[in-house]
Structure 1
Amino acid sequence: MGAIVVQGVLRDGRGFVELVLPDADPQQRRTLEKVTRLQYSLYRDGKLLYASPPLQMTNVRRAADDGALIVTGTP
């Protein structure tokens, strides 16, 4: 198990959100590939820091270095 990383990415003038998820379950990528919309919340010490708007799922891929799943969404 590892940390989940959330980062904003600007590519070709468009903004994206990328969630990097540890590869904990072999079924996880197949399940995520069926998702069309996502929303996420960030918490620290049980307190809500940020709740994203609904995002359109645009891509699910594996990181080349460690096999983590990278989920990309855009507003």
Structure 2
Amino acid sequence: AYQADVKLRGLGDYVFIAQPSPYFEEEEDLYIQQITKTIVNVGNLPTDWNTDFGLSAEIVPLTKPYAIYEGGIF
């Protein structure tokens, strides 16, 4: 588990990326690296939600990820 104590100052998007070291997965006989990218918005002012950070494996959203709700259309 990870924990961060961050004070978000100013409006807009804040992107947090956790990129831990690869680990060996015995069932697949290879190393796996899990990368987590979380986008937090402050004040409903969209800024950097669609930025490509150049990670080795990354999903770049085409729609604001914090504007998608269950049952909605995107």
Instruction: Please state which band the TM-score falls in when normalised by the shorter chain.
Output: under 0.3
The normalised TM-score by structure 2 is 0.27
Bigger Rg, which one: 2
The normalised TM-score by structure 1 is 0.27
More strand by share: 1
